[in-house]
Amino acid sequence: MSNPLDDLNAHYQAMPPVAAMRIRATAFDGERLQLHAPLDANVNDKDCAFGGSLASLMTLAGWGLLTLKLGQAGLQAEVYVADSQLRYLRPLYTDLRGDAALAPDVDWDAVLRAFRERGRARASVMAWVHGPEGEVVAELEGRFALLRPA
């Protein structure tokens, strides 16, 4: 039997830009997914984390969270980011550590019901990148589309 985190990491590594960032899923407790990426693969000209890498890590955390939660429900879907809003709060000079969870207003049972009935649904997530003391250095609010595979 395969490990969902191993499967998710294999999927991440199959995408060349993500593989170059060396992003990997490190933990999933059923509600929150944690990702890590080394600073040396995501550094900008100011020796801090590249903003695009922060955005990618948070987007991939949201995508991965929904993929894993659907898997827990015995479902497969094509998951796409529909839109997102980002806030960069301060520079990050250490490895990228991020996590994602469903947005507080999401009724996951209703999302699953819509997906089962219509073959599509939407779900909102919150994602964050944390600094060395656990402080939030960037945050994302995103809406994702979940579509039945063709």
Would you state the pLDDT for residue 101? 98
pTM of the shown model: 0.96
Whether the pLDDT of residue 94 is over 70: the answer is yes
What does the H/E/C string look like for the chain? CCCHHHHHHHHHHCCHHHHHHCCEEEEECCCEEEEEECHHHCECCCCCECHHHHHHHHHHHHHHHHHHHHHHCCCCCEEEEEEEEEEECCCCCCCEEEEEEECCCCCHHHHHHHHHHHCEEEEEEEEEEECCCCCEEEEEEEEEEEECCC
Would you state the pLDDT for residue 150? 84
**Domain locations along the chain:** 4-147
Fold of 4-147: Thiol Ester Dehydrase; Chain A (3.10.129)
